[in-house]
């Protein structure tokens, strides 16, 4: 690895971390689309800043772009508040308008400006190491690294200072307001951080990847944990992992770095979506199958409990009477036998003591819905996990 490669991976990783932190809260606040809007509508801010300074890395660009980001949020909320259109429609109205103003500004001045729409959309990470920051003539590293580094430090400091406030206003706006933590201040604070991060990351990864880096790692983490701090940690991990492996994927395929990172983000999400231990598609399907079996088991046990007549408890009768497929009846019988809930004597089924107690308890639970008494059953049976 040469130093340019290391620098690119470092920039990509810092961008990923800086995006994952506000992204986690955006996902929890169901505001993923807002980050898409911000990433596009900051374009006129960047363009105007660039015209003034002629420098893509000027702090003025960040200030102006962050300002346009906030304007986007305010406009969306204003249109939504009229009650004439829904939030997603308002977002769809605002950001293309602002984005197209940026596009026209670039096109009108294309001749004397080094800024094109392609670079805006997908960024140019590969070129980042060429733009150096010189402090009194000494090369201290790529400019983008410093910019995103500073933004990341501020983001982390704000996260640590206001973690409690972010959590309470995200979970329960009403409570936050009644306790004196103005949800509006926290909301606009988060929007400002998201805008600034977007601008800082923009130049390196472009408008589309910024959205992917904000939303995909957080959405992936959401499927894996039920703890906010762990969700933040996992988002950061998935972001950095995708940034670095995306870089090497691009290296192997000789393709766009931004495109490769986004692809990895998508793949990681897909894998977790399928295989996450409790919220994944496969786990949910398995759980539903278990629940079906257990409902059948309970139906079966209840039937045995209600009937003493031998003919009602004959194995063949059960198949006909409860109207099950052969396979299903077999699975249920085996499950009951395995748990020592029934005895089969001459093809006549009867409940054991254990099966009898279990049935009574289960029926009690279903009727009263009081679960304190059957906490121990929950581990064995998915059915009772609510």
Partner 1 sequence: MENKDNNKTPVSTRVIAVKVDDLTVAYNYKPVLWDIDLEIPEGVLMAIVGPNGAGKSTLIKAILGILKPIAGSVSIYDKPYDKQRQLVAYVPQKGSVDWDFPTTALDVVTMGTYGSLGWIKRPGQKQKKAALEALEKVGMLAFKGRQISQLSGGQQQRIFLARALVQNASIYFMDEPFQGVDATTEIAIINILKELRKAGKTVIVVHHDLQTVPEYFDWVTFLNVKKIATGPVKDIFNDDNLTKTYGINYKVSIQE
* Binding region for partner 1 (CB under 8 A): 28, 30, 83, 161-165, 167-168, 170-172, 174-175, 177-181, 222, 225-228, 230-231, 368-372, 375, 385-386
Three-state DSSP class for 347? coil
Residue 384: both structure tokens together:
């009772």
> Could you give phi then psi for residue 83, rounded to 5 degrees?
75, 5
Residue number, 128 or 221, with CB nearest to partner 1: 221
Residue 369: CB minimum distance to partner 1, A: 6
Residue 314: CB minimum distance to partner 1, A: 39
Residue 35: CB minimum distance to partner 1, A: 18
| Contacts with 267 (C-beta within 8 Å, 6 or more apart), sequence order | none
Residue number, 113 or 159, with CB nearest to partner 1: 159
Residue 31: CB minimum distance to partner 1, A: 12
Residue number, 208 or 218, with CB nearest to partner 1: 218
Residue 189: CB minimum distance to partner 1, A: 12
Three-state DSSP class for 256? coil
Cα angle value 339/342/345 (rounded, 5°): 135
Residue 312: both structure tokens together:
């009602």
Residue number, 134 or 157, with CB nearest to partner 1: 157
Which element (helix H / strand E) includes 15? helix 3-28
Residue number, 179 or 255, with CB nearest to partner 1: 179
> Could you give phi then psi for residue 228, rounded to 5 degrees?
-60, -40
Residue 309: CB minimum distance to partner 1, A: 36
Residue number, 59 or 277, with CB nearest to partner 1: 277
Judged by phi (left if over 0) then psi (alpha if -120 to 50, else beta), residue 324 lies in beta
Distance between CA atoms of residues 181 and 168, nearest Å: 9
Q: What does each C-alpha distance from 231 to 145, 165, 368 come to in angstroms?
A: 26, 17, 36
Residue number, 173 or 305, with CB nearest to partner 1: 173
Burial of 133 (0-12, 13-18, 19+ CB in 10 A): middle
Residue 19: CB minimum distance to partner 1, A: 19
Distance between CA atoms of residues 314 and 22, nearest Å: 63
């Amino acid at each position: 690895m040469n130093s340019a490669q290391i620098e690119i991976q470092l920039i990509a990783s810092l961008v990923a971390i800086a995006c994952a932190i506000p992204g986690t809260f955006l996902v929890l606040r169901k505001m993923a689309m807002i980050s898409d809007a911000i990433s596009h509508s900051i374009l006129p801010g960047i363009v105007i800043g660039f015209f003034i300074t002629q420098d893509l890395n000027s702090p003025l660009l960040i200030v102006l772009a962050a300002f346009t980001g906030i304007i986007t949020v305010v406009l969306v909320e204003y249109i939504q508040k009229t009650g004439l259109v829904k939030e997603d429609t308002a977002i769809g109205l605002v950001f293309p308008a602002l984005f197209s103003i940026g596009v026209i500004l670039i096109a009108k001045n294309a001749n004397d400006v080094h800024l094109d729409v392609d670079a805006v959309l997908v960024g140019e990470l590969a070129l980042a190491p060429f733009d150096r920051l010189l402090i009194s003539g000494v090369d201290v590293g790529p400019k983008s690294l410093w910019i995103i580094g500073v933004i990341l430090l501020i983001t982390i400091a704000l996260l640590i200072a206001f973690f409690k406030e972010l959590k309470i206003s995200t979970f329960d706006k009403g409570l936050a307001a009644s306790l004196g933590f103005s949800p509006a201040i926290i909301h606009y604070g988060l929007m400002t951080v998201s805008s600034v991060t977007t601008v800082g990351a923009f130049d390196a990864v472009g408008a589309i990847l910024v959205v992917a880096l904000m939303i995909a790692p957080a959405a992936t983490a959401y499927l894996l944990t039920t703890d906010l701090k762990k969700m933040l940690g996992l988002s950061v991990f998935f972001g950095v992992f995708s940034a670095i492996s995306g870089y090497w994927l691009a290296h192997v395929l000789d393709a766009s770095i931004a495109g490769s990172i986004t692809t990895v983000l998508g793949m990681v999400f897909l894998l977790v979506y399928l295989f996450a231990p409790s919220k994944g598609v496969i786990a949910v399907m398995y759980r539903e199958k278990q629940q079906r079996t257990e409902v059948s088991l309970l139906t079966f046990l209840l039937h045995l409990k209600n009937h003493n007549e031998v003919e009602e408890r004959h194995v063949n009768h059960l198949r006909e009477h409860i109207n099950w497929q052969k396979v299903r009846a077999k699975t249920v019988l085996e499950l009951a036998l395995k748990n020592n809930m029934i005895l089969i004597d001459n093809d006549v089924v009867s409940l054991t003591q254990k099966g009898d107690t279990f049935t009574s308890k289960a029926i009690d639970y279903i009727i009263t819905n009081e679960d304190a008494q059957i906490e121990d059953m929950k581990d064995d049976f998915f059915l009772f996990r609510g």
